Amino acid sequence: MQSETSSPLSRRQLAAGAASLCCLASLPSHARGHAPSLAVGDFLMPAQGKDSALLTESQIRNGDTAIMCWPVSAQTHQPRMETPYNRLWVVRTQAGFRGYSVICQHAGCLVSDWDSKTHRLTCPCHGSVYDVEHDGAVVGGPAPLPLPFAAIAVVDGHLRLAGGFSAKVGGHASRAD
């Protein structure tokens, strides 16, 4: 694990990051139900590859790139790998950086496919397709709800969580549906 080199996140910086996405100000109480380990201020670490460096703004220069990440505690510097519900697809949308859940809203499979041309995420199990430029809206397949996302702020060049998920994470139907 690379040591943290940036200064701690100040209350003012966190407030600014959270305020940048107004929907997070009214998070329902169940929003963290399946991702209890996420915390505001968490760093992000790419989930694939050998490099355990913390994710920086420069790694996602435009909307064509999506990187699956684990959140990393700002206090312990340990990745929060205790549940797959913590993983996020980090993307740069026209509304700013966001971290979309990797758990399909249909029956809970891994949303594993990123299309850099359409900026959509697809679940291979039954073909649900989510549009990251439109708040994770379902644009194909059987998923009943949009893909939840968390706001991400840029602090000293690092991408850090600025809020919890926008809705309950996880499958809302059995895999036989």
Give whichever of 13 and 122 is closer to ligand FES, judged by the CB atom. 122
CA–CA separation, 65 vs 97, rounded Å?
A: 11
Please, which residues have CB within 8 angstroms of residue 171's CB and are 6 or more apart in sequence? Answer: 103, 104, 105, 106, 107, 108, 109
Residue 57, judged by CB atoms within 10 A of its CB (0-12, 13-18, 19+), counts as: middle
Give whichever of 35 and 123 is closer to ligand FES, judged by the CB atom. 123
Q: Which of 63, 96, 141, 170 binds ligand FES (CB under 6 A)?
A: 141
Backbone dihedral angles phi then psi of residue 14, each to the nearest 5 degrees: -65, -40
DSSP lists the bridge partners of residue 132 as none
Give whichever of 21 and 125 is closer to ligand FES, judged by the CB atom. 125
Give whichever of 91 and 104 is closer to ligand FES, judged by the CB atom. 104
Q: Segment contacting ligand FES (CB under 6 A): 32-40, 64-72, 87-95, 140-148?
A: 140-148
Pattern of binders to ligand FES over 108-127, x per CB under 6 A? xx-------------x-xxx
Helix (H, G, I), strand (E, B), or coil: what is residue 84?
helix
169 binds ligand FES (CB under 6 A): no
Q: Which of 24, 104, 150, 161 binds ligand FES (CB under 6 A)?
A: 104
How far is residue 133 from each of residues 7, 22, 89, 97, 149, measured CA to CA in Å? 31, 16, 13, 11, 11
Give whichever of 28 and 124 is closer to ligand FES, judged by the CB atom. 124
Q: Which residues bind ligand FES (CB under 6 A)?
A: 104, 106-109, 123, 125-128, 141-143
